[in-house]
């Protein structure tokens, strides 16, 4: 087990450092102190070949803007907040509108823009990065002085875990996630339409034309959203289902997890044999299949295009701020401890 670090020659007000966690089997996870951005994950295929399985930029300075949020920590609230405002206990809070009239992924003061403080931890069984940040009351329009700690851990079972912890001195809204785009083909040899998913979920959230939840939870039965049995991403891309069309011919939807199966999510890539299994303490996640990824980005393994990566954004639902029933809440009470872990385990079959 090992941790390497390299200071980047990128113009920035604060020094930017890339850290690389390595286990004894060659798996690596690299990330920046900027936004906690995961820049590379090397994982083996069925022949033991180590290749990168996340989308990344060719040039590190591109992460200073990072419009697709590649690999970044997202907060204070992951997802879209309708009309860039919400109420808590009768008090209204206004946020920056950066997605039409709506607020997306924390906007300009989001955690993806923060240079985090980082500590490294090395043992014989696991290597860790501990990232910390203080977000003052009123930052980005959110209430409460917020202390945040995120721990990245890599072990010798090829499991990469992200633990999110936070406390606020005032009732606030909070749900954190990581916005990595996975592609298990390795080094972007193919898009993700042939990736197959299993999801332990009976319901997903209906979206309007602006990708804002309508307040309705839909049953997955007889829809392209039924991943309770293995199904390829291509099914949703090619579907005429109204919700796939709304999302730009693919998926950009919140799934409520049942919490009944051993695994919450499993992704398989038939050619490489790679698998990614996900277990999370979050109540659900957003599946996004890069339907709106621009085609002019210079990536580490070639040009960007639609359907090149899939995001598994484990989180609660910001729709709960505007719909009282049926949605996992993002409200954090004063002095309550926020603590959620998501584990991504890489394997082969």
DSSP conformation letters of 290-337: -TT--S--EETTEE--TTS-EEEEEE--GGGGT--SSS---EE-TTPP
Q: Is residue 336 flagged as an active site residue?
A: no
CB 170 within 8 A of CB 344: no
Report the 10 Å Cβ neighbour count for 122.
Answer: 11
Give the contacts of 116 (CB within 8 A, at least 6 positions apart). Answer: 33, 34, 35, 36, 73, 131, 132, 133, 150
Is the peptide bond between 343 and the residue preceding it cis, with omega within 30 degrees of 0? no
From 18, 51, 196, 313, the catalytic residue = 313
Report the 10 Å Cβ neighbour count for 322.
Answer: 16
From 105, 112, 133, 179, the catalytic residue = 179
Q: Is residue 13 flagged as an active site residue?
A: no
Residue 77 is given by DSSP the state: B
Candidates 285, 92, 269; CA nearest to 191 is 269
To 10 degrees, the CA torsion angle through 234, 238, 240, 243? 40
Distance of CA 244 to the CA centre of its chain: 20
Strand pairing partners for 172? 332
Active site residues: 179, 313
């Amino acid at each position: 087990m090992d941790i390497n670090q390299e200071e980047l020659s990128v113009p920035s007000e604060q020094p930017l450092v890339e850290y690389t966690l390595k286990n004894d089997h060659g798996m690596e996870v690299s990330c920046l102190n900027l936004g906690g951005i995961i820049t590379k994950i090397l994982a083996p295929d069925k022949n033991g070949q180590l290749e990168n399985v996340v989308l990344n930029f060719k040039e590190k300075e591109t992460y200073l803007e990072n419009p697709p949020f590649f690999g970044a920590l997202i907060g204070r609230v992951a997802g879209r907040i309708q009309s860039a405002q919400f109420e808590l206990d009768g008090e209204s809070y206004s946020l920056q509108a950066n997605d039409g009239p709506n607020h997306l992924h924390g906007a300009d003061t989001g955690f993806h823009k923060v240079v985090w403080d980082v500590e490294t931890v090395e043992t014989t069984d696991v290597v860790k990065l501990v990232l910390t940040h203080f977000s003052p009351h009123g930052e980005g329009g959110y209430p409460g002085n917020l202390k945040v700690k995120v721990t990245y851990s890599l072990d010798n079972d090829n499991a990469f875990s992200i633990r999110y912890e936070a406390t606020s001195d005032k009732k606030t809204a909070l749900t954190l996630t990581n916005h990595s785009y996975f592609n298990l083909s390795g080094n972007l040899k193919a898009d993700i339409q042939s990736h197959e998913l299993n999801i332990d979920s009976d319901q997903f959230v209906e979206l309007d034309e602006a990708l804002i939840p309508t307040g309705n939870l839909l049953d997955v039965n007889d829809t392209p959203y039924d991943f309770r049995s293995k199904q390829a991403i291509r099914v949703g891309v090619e579907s005429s289902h109204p919700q796939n069309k709304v999302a730009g011919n693919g998926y950009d939807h919140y799934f409520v997890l049942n919490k009944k199966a051993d695994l919450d999510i499993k992704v398989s890539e038939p050619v490489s044999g790679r698998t990614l299994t996900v277990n999370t303490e979050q109540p659900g996640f957003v599946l996004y299949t890069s339907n709106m990824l621009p085609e002019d980005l210079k990536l580490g393994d070639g040009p960007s295009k639609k359907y090149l990566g899939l995001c598994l954004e484990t989180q609660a639902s910001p729709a709960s701020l505007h719909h009282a029933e049926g949605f996992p809440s993002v409200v954090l009470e004063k002095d309550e401890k926020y603590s959620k872990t998501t584990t991504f385990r890489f394997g082969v079959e």
